[in-house]
Chains A and B, each alone.
Chain A
Amino acid sequence: MSGEECSRGPSAKAASPGKKAASDRLLFKTFFYSFAGFLFLFSAYLFLSNFDQLLVTEAAVKTRELTTWGEDREILNLFAGGFWKDPYFWKSLNLTLMITILTTILASLVGIPTAYALSRYRIPGKTVIEVLFSSMLVIPASSVGLCLIVMFNYGPFWHLQEKLGFRFAHSIFPGMIIASFVLSFALGLSAWKATFDSVNPRFEQVARSLGSSRWRAFRTVTLPMAKSGLAAGIILAWTRAMAEFGAVLFFCGTFRELPPARFSNLERALHIDQADWLSVAIWAQVEYGNVEYGFALAYILVLIGGISVYAMHRIGAKGYIW
């Protein structure tokens, strides 16, 4: 530092780095907010740009034009007059909600005790089990679906189906439950195990030394301490089941075009006959050319996903996805 700078005193010295820091901050803020803004606008555009496709009327189909946003964009659907009037839409929603809820209940009943055992006990071949289930999270669902088809259409499972008198593949019960269960269970299990891992077993040990049985120690100590993580796992398992596409498409296919005779009375009573799994329905409708339908169904899934993530944040179980 030169003598001249010294003589100007401390306030003068402090001023120039302060200015520099302020301009650095401004630069950073500019970049940061424009980047974040771009990401936000991009997502918003992705979700909202085709919202008007949902509101197609008969008139619009005739003129082949959408007027809502004042652009002469082409109408992308062949089905006019409101998707909400079509029973297929409601039946598909009904079917998916019903099956995913069943799947989630099953996954929780099997997965939570399994996660607890994996977290607390020394089990032979534990690493193999963990690798097996974790790898399901990173392989494409279509390959899971293909494996399921082969597994249930040959060998001991095939003989079992012959004895029972109904087929698992290409069925609603239990085909869709099986197909959506696999990945839903794998994701739930990893969340539940992480949750139990984060609760020190020492609390349970102290509870037992205070006279609680194994079950009571679990119920009164570990369970309350793990509850938000467990709830997050249940939400994750449900959303994963909801978002399942490849496995259901491969293992169950589509049901819309099947004759009514293919469906049981129970399925008709529950209003899930001649309906499709939501994500499969999106794909099928777009393939048929009914893009409106695709969007309508996609918005439902986007909404459900958003609400689920928000719910997870509300119960304080952040960090499982974001």
Chain B
Amino acid sequence: MIEIRNLHVHLGKFHLQGVDLTIGEGGFFVLMGPTGAGKTVLLEAIAGLVPVGKGRITVSGRDITHLPPEKRGVGIMYQDYALFPHLTVAANITFGLRYRRHDREAAGRRFDELVGQLGIGHLLDRYPGTLSGGELQRVALARALVVEPTVILLDEPLSALDQGFREDIRLLLKELHKNSRITFFMVTHDFSEALTLATQAAIMNKGAIVQTGSVRDIFQRPATSFVADFVGMKNILPARFDGTSADIGGLSVEIPRKHHNTTGHISIRPEDIVISLKPLESSMRNSFAGVIAGIVDQGFLYEIHVAVKDLVFKSFVTKGSAVDLALDLGANVQISFKTSAVHVF
């Protein structure tokens, strides 16, 4: 278990202010946030590469806040991989084993196993300068994993890769994690990566943790409008609450439960809003008549903007249904969504 308590780091223009995190043993933790949120700084603080101002970091109950990086048992893999250019692939991977007291046989087995699993056996005699991005990535992973750290920190491991490679490496990471007792701590700004990999996640912004929990929780119940925006919630509307109903610019919306404040926001994921030509005979309690104000081509889907009074709701419709419903600018339609689809914060 990694526990971070009230961590403060000041590093030029980057600040971490009172970061609190608890990461389960052997989990796959994903830290998300926009560029400049301080994700890499947090990573380097855990690895011991930047000085910590205040606070505490413990790994499996051991206080590592002021230990030098080599005594932490924390591996790090950077976005640019940082493979040693003057060493062959094999020497890069075994770098961490060279000066360490360890069971040679077991290390050899682990080396063979990782090399096999990552499919880099044919690269062992080559130098990093001659490898492709995907190959560099695999070698860097092998180098970090062969020393069996308690935690491995991955700094945006997928962002520098082509889309095709990305899928491969994502599966590989999942498998590597499944087969080891190592805690994976990955930084990304891509939410879809988190969805497939993480058991636990946190969102970071401006040097502080904004929300933490399971990915599902964050995805469905964002704690702030920043998180909602970050995870792709499109309909975020300021609201005034009265019991289990919310008033949003003159519309009364049923919400799942009472809110502790009288004002706040509601959000509805666009895929939860159903568009129809006539009012639906269904259990959906919220239904409004509106006019199509915009249609945006999103590739597989159309994003339909429906104006209801002064508000605009965004909804996704497949291209097929758009044709079936004959959706066009200015058409009168009905939007409906379940009470449970309304997220209140």
Residues of A bordering B, CB below 8 Å: 200, 202-203, 205-214, 216, 220-221, 224-225
Residues of B bordering A, CB below 8 Å: 44, 47-49, 68-70, 72, 74-76, 78, 80, 82, 84-86, 95-96, 99-100, 143-144, 147, 149
Q: With A203-B82, A224-B86 as known contacts, state yes or no: A211 contacts B47, CB within 8 Å.
A: no
A200, A205, A211, A213: the one contacting B76 at CB < 8 Å is: A205
Q: With A205-B47, A225-B85 as known contacts, state yes or no: A211 contacts B70, CB within 8 Å.
A: yes
Q: With the chains together, A207 CA to B78 CA distance in Å?
A: 12
B268 CB to nearest chain A CB (Å): 44
Q: With A205-B47, A216-B99, A221-B84 as known contacts, state yes or no: A210 contacts B78, CB within 8 Å.
A: no
Q: Evaluate contact between B76 and A225: CB separation under 8 angstroms.
A: no
B176 CB to nearest chain A CB (Å): 17
Q: With the chains together, A221 CA to B95 CA distance in Å?
A: 10
A72 CB to nearest chain B CB (Å): 61
Q: A208-B49, A210-B96 are in contact. List 15 more A-B contacts (CB 8 A).
A: A202-B78, A205-B44, A205-B47, A205-B76, A205-B82, A207-B84, A208-B69, A209-B47, A209-B76, A210-B75, A211-B96, A211-B99, A212-B96, A213-B70, A225-B86
Chain A residues, Cβ within 8 Å of B78 = 202, 206
Q: With the chains together, A203 CA to B70 CA distance in Å?
A: 14
A64 CB to nearest chain B CB (Å): 62
Q: Evaluate contact between A209 and B75: CB separation under 8 angstroms.
A: yes
B44, B75, B82, B99: the one contacting A200 at CB < 8 Å is: B82
Q: Evaluate contact between B47 and A212: CB separation under 8 angstroms.
A: no
Q: Evaluate contact between B86 and A212: CB separation under 8 angstroms.
A: no
Q: Evaluate contact between B86 and A208: CB separation under 8 angstroms.
A: no
Chain B residues, Cβ within 8 Å of A224 = 86
| Chain A residue at smallest Cβ distance from B75 | A209
A213 CB to nearest chain B CB (Å): 6
Chain A residues, Cβ within 8 Å of B84 = 203, 206-207, 221, 225
| Chain B residue at smallest Cβ distance from A223 | B86
Q: With the chains together, A200 CA to B83 CA distance in Å?
A: 11
Chain B residues, Cβ within 8 Å of A216 = 99
Chain B residues, Cβ within 8 Å of A225 = 84-86
| Chain B residue at smallest Cβ distance from A199 | B85
Q: With the chains together, A208 CA to B76 CA distance in Å?
A: 10
Chain B residues, Cβ within 8 Å of A220 = 95
Q: With the chains together, A212 CA to B71 CA distance in Å?
A: 9
| Chain B residue at smallest Cβ distance from A216 | B99
A316 CB to nearest chain B CB (Å): 13
Chain B residues, Cβ within 8 Å of A207 = 84, 95
Chain A to chain B contacts (Cβ below 8 Å), 6 pairs:
A200-B82, A202-B78, A208-B68, A209-B47, A210-B75, A225-B84
B271 CB to nearest chain A CB (Å): 41
B49, B68, B86, B147: the one contacting A210 at CB < 8 Å is: B147
B149 CB to nearest chain A CB (Å): 8
| Chain A residue at smallest Cβ distance from B96 | A210
Chain A residues, Cβ within 8 Å of B86 = 224-225
Q: With A202-B80, A214-B68, A216-B99 as known contacts, state yes or no: A209 contacts B85, CB within 8 Å.
A: no
Chain A residues, Cβ within 8 Å of B72 = 209
A206, A211, A214: the one contacting B100 at CB < 8 Å is: A211
Q: With the chains together, A207 CA to B69 CA distance in Å?
A: 9
Chain A residues, Cβ within 8 Å of B74 = 209
B316 CB to nearest chain A CB (Å): 42
Q: With the chains together, A291 CA to B100 CA distance in Å?
A: 65
Chain B residues, Cβ within 8 Å of A214 = 68
Q: With the chains together, A202 CA to B48 CA distance in Å?
A: 13
Chain A residues, Cβ within 8 Å of B82 = 200, 202-203, 205-206
Chain B residues, Cβ within 8 Å of A210 = 70, 75, 95-96, 143-144, 147
Q: With the chains together, A219 CA to B147 CA distance in Å?
A: 20
Q: With the chains together, A216 CA to B96 CA distance in Å?
A: 11
B137 CB to nearest chain A CB (Å): 14
Q: With the chains together, A108 CA to B85 CA distance in Å?
A: 25
| Chain A residue at smallest Cβ distance from B152 | A209
Q: With the chains together, A103 CA to B71 CA distance in Å?
A: 40
Q: With the chains together, A203 CA to B83 CA distance in Å?
A: 7
A220 CB to nearest chain B CB (Å): 8
Q: With the chains together, A214 CA to B96 CA distance in Å?
A: 14
Chain B residues, Cβ within 8 Å of A206 = 76, 78, 82, 84
A207 CB to nearest chain B CB (Å): 7
Chain A residues, Cβ within 8 Å of B96 = 210-212
Q: Evaluate contact between B147 and A211: CB separation under 8 angstroms.
A: yes
A202, A209, A221: the one contacting B70 at CB < 8 Å is: A209
A116 CB to nearest chain B CB (Å): 17
Q: With the chains together, A225 CA to B86 CA distance in Å?
A: 7
Q: With the chains together, A203 CA to B81 CA distance in Å?
A: 9
A211 CB to nearest chain B CB (Å): 5
| Chain A residue at smallest Cβ distance from B81 | A206
